[in-house]
Structure 1
Amino acid sequence: MNVATILKAKGSDVATVNPALTLAEAARLLTERGIGAVVVMEGRRVIGILSERDIVKAVARGGAEALKAPVRDVMTARVVTCSLNDSVDELMDAMTEGRFRHLPVVEDGELAGIVSIGDVVKHRIAETVMETEALRLYIATG
């Protein structure tokens, strides 16, 4: 199973923001959409990612005043991305190693979607269930 399979099931809609947006506005967007991260774009180019963790860290450092800061000041600028052909195992490795929960999907230089750790776990469980059922069927008919 790969990223393309995940996006086919969940869709390729991605919440994006401009780097000048305030943290308060970005937090509101996360809450309204029920998501944990937004991709920060300048034109059609991915320049960062802003997660709930980034906002919590900013507030811990600067108090409520931090919510007036622009996203560009708090976002993670070194964005790790994946491609449509990356496997679920590759995603799990990247997320575990980098200790992050969201990977923007970039294909041919364009944002094609986003994958969360929840998406990865859901599809890995489904894959495991299918393998188990195939083995049960093999044993029962063998």
Structure 2
Amino acid sequence: MNVASILKAKGSDVVTATPVMTLGETARLLTSRRIGAVVVLHGQQVLGILSERDIVKAVAASGAEALDRPVRDFMTSRVTTCDLNDSADELMDIMTNGRFRHLPVVHKGELVGIVSIGDVVKHRIAETVMETEAMRLYIASS
């Protein structure tokens, strides 16, 4: 299973923010969309990613005033991305080693989706269930 199959099942909609949006605006966007991260774009260029964890760290360090400051002050600007051809196992390794939960999907220089650790686990479990059922059918027919 690869990223393309995960996006085919979940969709390729990506919620984005601009670097000048305030942290408060972005927090409200995350809440209203019930998501954990946004990709920060300038035009079509990925500048960064901002997660709930980044917001918590900003408020812990700077207090409520952080909510009035721009996203660019708190986003992760060294963004790790993945490609449509990457496998679920590769994604789990990347996310585990990097200690993050969201990966923007960039294909041929264009943002085409985002995957979360939850998406990867869900599809990996589905794949395991299908493999188990195939083995049961094979054993039963032998």
Q: TM-score range by the shorter chain?
A: over 0.9
Q: CA deviation at 1:41?
A: 0.2
The aligned runs of 1:65-104 (5 Å cut-off) are: 65-104=65-104
Deviation at 1:79, TM superposition (A): 0.2
CA distances 1:40-90 after superposition (whole Å, capped 9, x unpaired): 001110010000000000000011111111000000000000000000000
Q: Is 2:27 the partner of 1:27?
A: yes
State the 4+ residue runs in structure 1 displaced beyond 2 angstroms. none
RMSD between superposed Cα atoms in Å: 0.4
Unaligned runs of at least 5 residues, structure 1: none
Aligned residue for 1:139, secondary structure, equals helix
Q: Which residue of 2 aligns with 1:60?
A: 60
Identity of aligned residues (%): 77
Tell me the residue number matched to 2:115: 115
Letter in 2 for 1:100: F
Q: Deviations over 1:103-126 (max 9, x none)?
A: 000001000000000000000000
- Structure 2 unmatched runs, 5+: none
Shift of 1:30: 0.1
Separation in 2 of the partners of 1:44 and 1:128?
Answer: 36
Instruction: Give the match's secondary structure for 1:24.
Output: helix
Q: Distance in 2 between matches of 1:55 and 1:28?
A: 11
Normalising by structure 2, we get a TM-score of 0.99
Map 1:122-137 onto structure 2 (within 5 A).
Answer: 122-137=122-137
> Normalised by the size of structure 1, how large is the TM-score?
0.99
CA distance in 2, matches of 1:26, 1:94: 25
